[in-house]
Structure 1
């Protein structure tokens, strides 16, 4: 898989650099837990899947994160910027393990492909503004329905709601936008897909995809161990909401992880 290959190559590169730096200059985080999520965006079926992760941050700003990919981050006072290359999400048209659904039979699977990302943050007192732009490269199979290059933009605003003996609770609001290729890939149904499935054809255009809100609670036990819980809600909008693959516009996810940092 593209994601596994990228992460394997990235890990090798970071390990080679590690020998020339002192151990305390690097930061490592391991995450393990579980998440209850929809089987795909718009699904009314749910699955409980493992939520495992790794993050390595070098003193030069180079990072490797299994959720984001390999990149470089710059952070100074109120402004932060990061660029990265990772892998896109996938969607299977059959129920397979923790992925896909039989409701999508005939739609064709959306495979992982490289994603180039740019993320910027700006701090205004207790409020954090963030914008994330991602560009997925075109798949080599020339399948316009599932393999087109696409662009996605996520805008969010967040602030701490509670800070005390019981940890930190951060709330955020966000909006996600996609170009025509993004909305067609994830929510459109072409004539060919309709003929192979039980779904009606659905033409789409770019624009607002969803509005959402997140609650993130972090509880540290000591300098190394902590627990993080995230409740995320997305409400699909526009052509995404009216897609025949969407059985439920309100999409909710709940994830809990134990985090070890060293």
Structure 2
């Protein structure tokens, strides 16, 4: 993928800010451009600034094609939202290449993107929104269990609108992320084979809680078409993920700002 892996954690706040915009009776088109600053990989102390370019098309029936999520369908109701999609998983290079990867990962092997199936659900309870996102990434290479296994990832979020007025809309949220054993091993584990090829000691990673985080998102509309969104996010890596020798910093922070045109 063209942006650092941890920027995926910012998507929930952006979707919450734009949820009302998606409840439309006509076709909707959205184009976004901006910049993000984030760790080069989950757990890294190295950072990179990368351009963001995104687009989406949503039909009146709820079907959508999104450059970040993929192809799917979503229902946005007054109290409950639900969506399914087919997309591509995150990736990680074991060398520095433009905005991606890090030479520190040399010998770990690259984690290639593979098809995934995702489910989104959100329940609106007054000013609060309870949300869940589940993704199942398919097996990429059965001969490379360290980097190519199928895995499952779950993100649970609680968001609240903190302000809405002449200066736009401010939303804050907290989240917890979980992964099965294959997920944690893929992104944070170090097998004996990887340890022999890299600078890292072997690390057996088990499934469970991966991180706890918080997000703050501000959306400023200029008119019915143009808006500016800025998101600040922080994730604290926990358990076997946080104890991984790949992790230089448990506390990972990211920021993005993007201009969006909707028509």
TM-score normalised according to structure 2 size: 0.90
1:153-172 residue CA offsets vs partner (Å, 9 max, x unmatched): 00000011111111000000
Q: Which runs of 4+ in 1 moved over 6 A?
A: none
RMSD of aligned C-alpha atoms? 1.0
Q: Given that residues 57 and 64 in structure 2 are in contact (C-alpha distance below 8 angstroms), is that contact kept between their aligned partners in structure 1?
A: yes
Residue 140 (structure 1) shift: 3.2
Residue 141 (structure 1) shift: 5.1
Residue 87 (structure 1) shift: 0.5
The alignment partner of 1:117 has SS state of strand
1:161-212 residue CA offsets vs partner (Å, 9 max, x unmatched): 1111110000000000000000000000000000000100000100000000
Which residue does 2:12 correspond to in 1?
Answer: none
After TM superposition, the structure 1 = structure 2 runs for residues 144-159 of structure 1, keeping only pairs within 5 Å, are: 144-159=145-160
The alignment partner of 1:91 has SS state of coil
| 1:190 equivalenced with 2:194 (yes/no) | no
Structure 1 alignment gaps of length 5 or more = 2-23
| 1:51 equivalenced with 2:52 (yes/no) | yes
d(CA) in 2 for partners of 1:46, 1:76 = 39
d(CA) in 2 for partners of 1:65, 1:150 = 22
d(CA) in 2 for partners of 1:184, 1:141 = 14
Which residue does 1:62 correspond to in 2?
Answer: 63
After TM superposition, the structure 1 = structure 2 runs for residues 25-104 of structure 1, keeping only pairs within 5 Å, are: 25-104=26-105
Which residue does 2:125 correspond to in 1?
Answer: 124
d(CA) in 2 for partners of 1:183, 1:152 = 9
Which residue does 1:138 correspond to in 2?
Answer: 139
The alignment partner of 1:25 has SS state of coil
d(CA) in 1 for partners of 2:148, 2:108 = 12
Which residue does 1:227 correspond to in 2?
Answer: 228
Residue 25 (structure 1) shift: 2.1
Structure 2 alignment gaps of length 5 or more = 2-24
Question: Size of the alignment, in residue pairs?
Answer: 240
